[in-house]
């Protein structure tokens, strides 16, 4: 029988890659999308069939992690075999501006979803998108599944809350619920306000003569950056295990934003120092200095390992943004609003 | 004359803290939820004293999920110290009503922190965190740097709130303090907490009003202190120039069985004749070995507990005897309404 998956955050970077992976594996995929007056399904365009298509594998439903009864209804109707909770206000800096909303969606939203599953009386496998930001002011380098958390933003506090909620529902109700502690993962589909994508878009625009300066916050922050397309595979693998568990998904390398700038600008023959200016508006009130994840457990238990490393990832993103801009200019592509 | 604002003023700790602050010359404002039954028994003696109520003690309707009202209230009262004690405080019940527990306890704290960011005066803020944030700890006794490992919705929500307090202290320099309070009891303890349940049952059985007491796991161990000692620690922590986290505990554990034996001994009954085991009172996941190391509070605040466990349980049993015998006398009186 066809397996059914339900994805929150289906319209995001990870949601769209995960949808592609699951569709390829023959799943019927259900995604929850928020209503917006502008289209927010751009990343799913290649997969999204018209509502009249009867053989479609992808179904989108209106819903919201802040709407508990809507979630209950959807879970009961769809009866999914696997639930991937990727929906969130996912921008750390923004979480300082909108902390209550962030905590409601990223924290309480997870409880609403877990409760909806309990109520429906079904036993789907559950994946929670946990985050390396939970380690915050890190207590150990590199970070593993046993490193204690020290969250430094409302976003991170909410993610820690959800992490424990998942562990708690696993231990209290025997749910097959897993946390994937994903370190930064990027791709050409990364949101435009995240630093990597902000840089690669700027590189394309500067190279084309459409932009002169790039304003950034703390460029000495160090992160463990991997390729999102590979990370969604780790999510799926976690739900195929006989027992649920928590896994770090990372590259075990750490690089500064500065290194990203060097490679990105260097790839189009430019020097970042000629274009980058520091704007303290982009500083976080409390910074996370260094993140580096040890993925030994994921390698041993899931057989998962990252292939695309930092330099290749940077170049791949630059090339995608150069091509995207070129296509725009040639009128080959709709502008995504 | 300093002004204090207390959330959860009608509870055990709120009422003792109110008495302490009034004795120290404070004006005390408290927020109360509107209910159709006017249940403020713990404040009754203050509420009905015309020299206190509306002179130095003020109660305001407010709810932790009503942010506009809270904001208006805090702007008007302009307190020097805020004691945030409110929350759905029953661990077992948090498995039944997880979402509202999280909304009060986690989101409610965040909402107050957000208001504090905008208040012109910079009040000192006390958050009543809980030993339940350690849940199933890796080490004992726990101190201020023991990693959180909650095992209930209540514990997850309190861990979130404690993390947020740290984030707001680090990010915005707020004078925000976590008191990580271990179990604390008194004659005013809520009736569905195990200490009170046992003491009341011993008294009721003694008076012939009850025949049996059904209990969950009586081998469960906790670090139980006295609420009157604990509210004193709260106040001390607000008098320091710097905000910090403090473990408030006795450092001594007792079994639930010890409560049973002390309470029944006190009324000269053999507990073995009255206790029945009932799995309904077992928690889905029970924390192990919660015992606090309060040496930081002792050093920084000069605080230490003064009331012993045995004395506290005996006092609670005596209070139940007094209360139940006056009630049963009243019930025999036909003019009682």
Instruction: Name the pairing type of β-strands A246-249 and A177-182.
Output: parallel
Shortest CB distance from B151 goes to which of A139, A168, A285?
Answer: A168
Q: What is the CATH number of the domain that holds B97?
A: 3.40.50.720
pLDDT computed for residue B286 by the predictor? 60
Contact between chains at A173 and B152 (C-beta distance less than 8 A): no
> Poorest-confidence range of A20-24, A39-43, A135-139, B27-31?
A39-43
Contact between chains at B155 and A108 (C-beta distance less than 8 A): no
Distance from CA of A109 to the nearest CA of B (A): 9
Cβ burial of A62 (10 Å; 0-12, 13-18, 19+) is exposed
- Quote the pTM value: 0.82
Domain that holds residue B95: 3-186+225-248
Band (A335; pLDDT cuts 50, 70, 90) = very low
Distance from CA of A32 to the nearest CA of B (A): 20
Phi, psi of B193 (to 5 degrees): -95, 150
Instruction: Round to whole Å and give the CA distance between B131 and A40.
Output: 43
pLDDT computed for residue B192 by the predictor? 84
Write out the two tokens for B315: 């006092």
Q: What percent of the residues of chain B are helix, what percent strand, and what percent coil, each to the nearest 5?
A: 45, 15, 40
Query: Which of A99, A114, A158 has the highest number of chain B CBs within 10 A, making it the mutation to test binding with B?
Result: A99
Can you tell me the mean pLDDT for A229-254?
Answer: 98
Band (A288; pLDDT cuts 50, 70, 90) = confident
pLDDT computed for residue B36 by the predictor? 67
- Residue of chain B whose Cα is closest to the Cα of A285: B171
Widest CA span of chain B, in angstroms?
62
Assess contact for B162 and B133: CB atoms under 8 A.
yes
Instruction: Round to whole Å and give the CA distance between A118 and A108.
Output: 15
Residues 246-305 of B with CB under 8 A from A: 284-285
Band (A337; pLDDT cuts 50, 70, 90) = very low
B154 part of a folded domain: yes
Contacts of B165 in chain A (CB under 8 A): none
Residue A218 gets the label, from left (phi > 0), alpha (psi -120 to 50) or beta, of beta
Distance from CA of A12 to the nearest CA of B (A): 25
Q: Which residues contact A42 (CB under 8 A, 6 or more apart)?
A: A11, A336
Instruction: Round to whole Å and give the CA distance between A14 and A235.
Output: 10
Query: Which of B70, B94, B98, B286 has the highest number of chain A CBs within 10 A, making it the mutation to test binding with A?
Result: B98
pLDDT computed for residue A49 by the predictor? 61
pLDDT computed for residue B335 by the predictor? 44
**Hunting for tokens 């559950």 — which residue is that?**
A126
How much is the ipTM here?
0.71
Contact between chains at B150 and A152 (C-beta distance less than 8 A): no
- Residue of chain A whose Cα is closest to the Cα of B95: A172
Contacts of B160 in chain A (CB under 8 A): 103, 107, 157-158, 160-161
pLDDT computed for residue A333 by the predictor? 60
What average pLDDT is seen over chain A? 93
- Residue of chain A whose Cα is closest to the Cα of B173: A285
Cβ burial of A329 (10 Å; 0-12, 13-18, 19+) is exposed
Cβ burial of A115 (10 Å; 0-12, 13-18, 19+) is buried
Contacts of B159 in chain A (CB under 8 A): 160-161, 164
Contacts of A172 in chain B (CB under 8 A): 95, 151-152, 284-285
Can you tell me the mean pLDDT for A221-234?
Answer: 97
B67 part of a folded domain: yes
Assess contact for A303 and A257: CB atoms under 8 A.
no
- Residue of chain B whose Cα is closest to the Cα of A97: B114
Query: Which of A70, A103, A140 has the highest number of chain B CBs within 10 A, making it the mutation to test binding with B?
Result: A103
3-state secondary structure (DSSP) of residue B136: coil
Instruction: Round to whole Å and give the CA distance between A311 and B250.
Output: 55
Write out the catalytic residue numbers of B. 130, 132, 154
Contacts of B155 in chain A (CB under 8 A): 164, 168
Contact between chains at B156 and A165 (C-beta distance less than 8 A): yes
Assess contact for B5 and B85: CB atoms under 8 A.
no
- Answer whether residue A54 shows pLDDT above 60: no
Contact between chains at B107 and A108 (C-beta distance less than 8 A): yes
**Of B70, B147, B106, residue with least CA distance to A139:** B147
Q: How many distinct structural domains can be found in chain B?
A: 1
Shortest CB distance from A115 goes to which of B99, B110, B113?
Answer: B99
* Tens digits of residue pLDDT in A78-108: 999 999 999 999 999 989 989 999 999 999 9
Query: Which of A69, A161, A179 has the highest number of chain B CBs within 10 A, making it the mutation to test binding with B?
Result: A161
B261 part of a folded domain: no
pLDDT computed for residue B334 by the predictor? 46
Contact between chains at B163 and A68 (C-beta distance less than 8 A): no
In sign, the C-alpha dihedral spanning A297, A300, A303, A306 is positive
Instruction: Round to whole Å and give the CA distance between A219 and A185.
Output: 17
Identify the residue with better confidence: B61 or A287: B61
- Residue of chain A whose Cα is closest to the Cα of B136: A168
**Regions in chain B scoring below 70 on pLDDT:** 36-39, 283-288, 329-337
B331 part of a folded domain: no
Instruction: Round to whole Å and give the CA distance between A247 and A252.
Output: 13
pLDDT computed for residue A154 by the predictor? 96
First to last CA, chain B: 41
Phi, psi of B112 (to 5 degrees): -70, -40
Contacts of A286 in chain B (CB under 8 A): 167, 170-171
Distance from CA of A151 to the nearest CA of B (A): 7
B334 part of a folded domain: no
Cβ burial of B139 (10 Å; 0-12, 13-18, 19+) is exposed
Contacts of A153 in chain B (CB under 8 A): 167, 171
In sign, the C-alpha dihedral spanning A64, A66, A67, A72 is positive
pLDDT computed for residue B277 by the predictor? 85
pLDDT computed for residue A184 by the predictor? 96
B219 part of a folded domain: no
Contacts of B114 in chain A (CB under 8 A): 99-100
B53 part of a folded domain: yes
pLDDT computed for residue A46 by the predictor? 75
B160 part of a folded domain: yes
């Amino acid at each position: 029988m066809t397996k059914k998956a339900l994805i929150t955050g289906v319209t995001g970077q990870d949601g769209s890659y995960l949808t592609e992976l699951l569709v390829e594996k023959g799943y019927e995929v259900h995604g929850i999308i928020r209503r917006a007056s502008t289209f927010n399904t751009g990343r799913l365009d290649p997969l999204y069939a018209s509502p009249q298509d009867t053989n479609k594998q992808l179904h989108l439903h209106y819903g919201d992690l802040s709407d508990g009864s809507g979630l209950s209804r959807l879970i009961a109707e769809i009866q999914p075999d696997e639930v991937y909770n990727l929906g969130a206000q996912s921008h750390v800096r923004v979480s300082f501006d909108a902390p209550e909303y962030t905590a409601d969606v990223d924290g309480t939203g997870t409880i609403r979803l877990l409760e909806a599953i309990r109520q429906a009386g079904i036993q789907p496998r559950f994946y929670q998108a946990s985050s390396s930001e939970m380690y915050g002011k890190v207590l150990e380098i590199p970070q593993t599944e046993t490193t204690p958390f020290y969250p430094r933003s409302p976003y991170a506090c909410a993610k820690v809350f959800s992490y424990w909620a998942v562990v708690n529902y696993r231990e209290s109700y025997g749910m097959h619920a897993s946390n994937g502690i994903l370190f930064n993962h990027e791709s050409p589909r990364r949101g435009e306000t995240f630093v990597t994508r902000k840089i690669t878009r700027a590189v394309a625009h500067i190279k084309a003569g459409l932009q002169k300066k790039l304003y950034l916050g703390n460029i000495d922050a160090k992160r463990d950056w991997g390729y999102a397309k590979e990370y969604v595979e780790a999510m799926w693998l976690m739900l195929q295990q006989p027992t649920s568990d928590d896994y770090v998904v990372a590259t075990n390398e750490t690089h500064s934003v500065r290194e990203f700038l060097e490679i990105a600008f260097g790839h189009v023959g430019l020097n970042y120092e000629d274009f980058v200016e520091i704007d303290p508006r982009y500083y976080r009130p409390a910074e996370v200095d260094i993140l580096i994840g040890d993925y030994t457990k994921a390698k041993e238990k899931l057989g998962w390992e990252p292939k695309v490393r930092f330099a290749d990832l940077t170049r791949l993103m630059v090339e995608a943004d150069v091509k995207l801009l070129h296509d725009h200019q040639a009128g080959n592509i709709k502008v995504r609003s | 004359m300093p002004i204090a604002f207390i959330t959860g003023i009608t509870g055990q700790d709120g009422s003792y803290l109110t008495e302490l602050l009034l004795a120290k010359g404070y004006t005390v404002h408290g927020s109360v939820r509107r209910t159709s039954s006017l249940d403020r028994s713990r404040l009754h003696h203050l509420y009905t004293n015309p020299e206190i109520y509306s002179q130095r003690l003020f109660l305001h309707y407010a709810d932790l999920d009503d942010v506009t009202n809270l904001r208006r209230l805090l702007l008007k009262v302009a307190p020097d110290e805020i004691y945030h004690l409110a929350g759905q405080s029953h661990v077992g019940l948090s498995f039944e009503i997880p979402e509202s527990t999280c909304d009060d306890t986690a989101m409610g704290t965040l909402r107050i922190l957000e208001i504090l960011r905008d208040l012109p005066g910079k009040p000192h803020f006390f958050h009543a965190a809980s030993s339940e944030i350690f849940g199933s700890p890796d080490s004992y006794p726990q101190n201020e740097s023991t990693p959180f490992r909650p095992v209930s919705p209540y514990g997850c929500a309190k861990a979130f709130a404690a993390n947020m307090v740290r984030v707001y202290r680090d990010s915005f320099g707020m004078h925000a303090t976590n008191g990580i309070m271990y179990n604390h009891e008194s004659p005013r303890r809520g009736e569905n907490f195990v200490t009170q349940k046992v003491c009341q049952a011993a008294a009721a059985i003694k008076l012939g009003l009850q025949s049996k007491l059904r209990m969950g796991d009586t081998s469960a161990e906790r670090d139980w202190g006295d609420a009157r000692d604990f509210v004193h620690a709260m106040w001390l922590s607000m008098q320091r120039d710097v905000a910090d986290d403090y473990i408030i505990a006795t450092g001594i554990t007792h079994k639930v069985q010890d409560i049973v034996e002390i309470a029944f001994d006190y009324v000269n009954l053999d507990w073995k004749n009255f206790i029945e085991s009932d799995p309904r009172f077992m928690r889905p996941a029970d924390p192990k070995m919660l015992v606090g190391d309060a040496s930081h509070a002792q050093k920084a605040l000069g605080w230490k507990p003064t009331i012993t466990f045995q004395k506290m349980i005996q006092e609670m049993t005596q209070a139940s005897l007094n209360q139940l015998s006056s009630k049963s006398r009243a019930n025999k009186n036909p003019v009682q309404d």
